[in-house]
Structure 1
Amino acid sequence: MALSLDIVTIGVPQVEAARAFYTSLFSTSAVAITAAEDGHAVTTRLDLHGTGQLALHRMDALAADAGTDPAASDPAASGFRGYVLSSIVGGPAEVRALLDAATAHGATVVKPAKKQLFGEFSAVCRAPDGTVWKLAAAAKKDTDPVPDPPRPTETAVFLGVARPKASKMFYEALGMTADRDYGDKFVDFTLTDGVCRLGLLPRKALAKDAGVDERGDGFSALALTHTAASRTDVDALLAAADEAGAETTAATTRTGAGAYEGHFTDPDGYRWNITTPA
């Protein structure tokens, strides 16, 4: 039993528009759709070519799920939500191609594609829904023809936290294993096939790396999901999180889709859903 980041859920104003943007960007397709009573989608889930899944949830519904007043859940669209999503592709040319595709479909450039201070080739853009994305190259030089479209080799979520060392201890208590550990500067966790990587940076440093102002408040519009193998594993992870200092935000329950799930927020306030498959 170990925590993994199987699904990243972001709140969006309109699910249909966000689905069109992300399917155009990543050339992927929806794997699950739920319709609202008015006929418009409440949530859709996209497979990121085996590097995890991205769920798009209508903002007011995600806020209600998190116990936040939907009427007061407008995200700080011009501010920093406290996290950055990242798509890692093969080389610099793929970063440029991905950024071009993003801007062609409504994203705004925060940092242009170029070699950064420590040799990393990357770019940063803000999606039409307000989410900040860092696009980075795994290699410093292009060695193969650029695939059309580029496909991610890794998807990551970087959380802005108070102290990465303290947050690392919390996640290790839930079975995660640190990969690169630079103390209170940067920590990330070992990646397994089919899931997203989780990384931790001080909030100010993460905002600086992304090229945005660190200020921002309001609803973060983010939920992280681990799919457990059984109800026993759900209960065990929730108990481990509680003992490690998490705040349990909802008791375990069986959903209408048949899944068994519970929720907690980590010591920095990020929401996790622990669930069994429906």
Structure 2
Amino acid sequence: MTSSLANLTLEVADLAAAERFYSAFVPGLPVALRASQEATDGFRGFAVALTVAQPADVRRLVDAAVDAGATVLKPATKSFWGYGGVVRAPDGTIWKVASSEKKDTAPATGRIDRIVLLLGCADVAETRAYYTERGLTVAKSFGRKYVEFDAPEGADAVVLALYGRRALAKDLTVPVDGTGSHRLVLGGTGAAGGPATDPDGFVWEPAQARAAA
């Protein structure tokens, strides 16, 4: 059986508030929520990236997040790679919204083309080896800088990617230091199903049927 990331669960201090935020930010987002009071401080070592078609969609989602209570970490703007912005949800999760396009060609739709979970790693090569030993298949690799694994087909698929922790924090414009819980649980299939903890402290459990946030 092929191993993969099947479920993504965010652990939040205020479950009702988080449900309200995500319903307003991206209704139907394939991410589960779970109540947790585990201590956490600073950068949690990950971000969720949403890829959209064009700048208008970036602005639409960033504005929706801010209206629902998110904090802007990086305003939506043009960059060398395209157009994007970064926000922190009230529960502390960091979201990156980006498009490879720099100009709009149609009205915004709010549609998400791709969801990528970016894990910040102390050593990308070491963490890559950990996951390949557990049956995940590498789809893209740029040495010790970035690794992306194959994901199941479907609109609800979340792609797992590895990024250097320091480089990820810099991209998100947050200090790299952080302690305590990641407030994140990954549900896997096959050998990745866990229970297990990867080299950077991210927890895996067997994939569960889950409702969207």
Aligned residue in 2 for 1:84: 47
- Give the 5 Å matches for 1:3-14: 3-14=3-14
Q: Residue type matched to 1:208 in 2? A: K
Q: How far apart, in 1, do the equivalents of 2:137 and 2:95 lie?
A: 25
- The RMSD of aligned alpha carbons is 1.8
Matched, 1:104 2:104: no
Shift of 1:94: 0.4
Alignment of 1:1-278 (within 5 A): 1-28=1-28, 48=29, 53-60=30-37, 73-76=38-41, 79-116=42-79, 118-147=80-109, 150-194=110-154, 195-226=157-188, 228=189, 233=190, 237=191, 262-275=194-207
| Deviation (angstroms), 1:91 | 0.9
Q: Deviations over 1:110-147 (max 9, x none)?
A: 0000122x323110000011111111114333233211
Tell me how many residue pairs correspond in the alignment. 208
Q: Could you report, residue by residue, the CA deviation over 1:219-275 in whole angstroms, capped at 9, with x for unpaired residues?
A: 11110002x4xxxx5xxx16xxxxxxxxxxxxxxxxxxxxxx751001221100124
What CA distance in whole angstroms lies between the structure 1 residues aligned with 2:102 and 2:151?
A: 21
- Identity within the alignment, %: 39
Q: Give the secondary structure class of the aligned counterpart of 2:40.
A: coil
Q: Give me the whole-angstrom Cα distance separating, in 2, the residues matched to 1:26 and 1:276.
A: 21
Cα contact 1:89–1:135 (8 A) shared by 2: yes
Structure 1 stretch displaced more, 199-208 or 132-141: 132-141
TM-superposed CA distance for 1:192, in Å, is 2.8
Partners of 2:194 and 2:106 lie apart in 1 by 45
What's the CA shift for 1:152? Answer: 1.0
Q: Which has the larger radius of gyration?
A: 1
What CA distance in whole angstroms lies between the structure 2 residues aligned with 1:188 and 1:162? 16
Distance 1:92 1:191 in 2: 25
Structure with higher RCO (Cα < 8 A, 6+ apart): 2
Provide TM-score, normalisation by structure 1. Answer: 0.70
Structure 2, unaligned runs of 5 or more: none
Cα shift at 1:154: 1.0
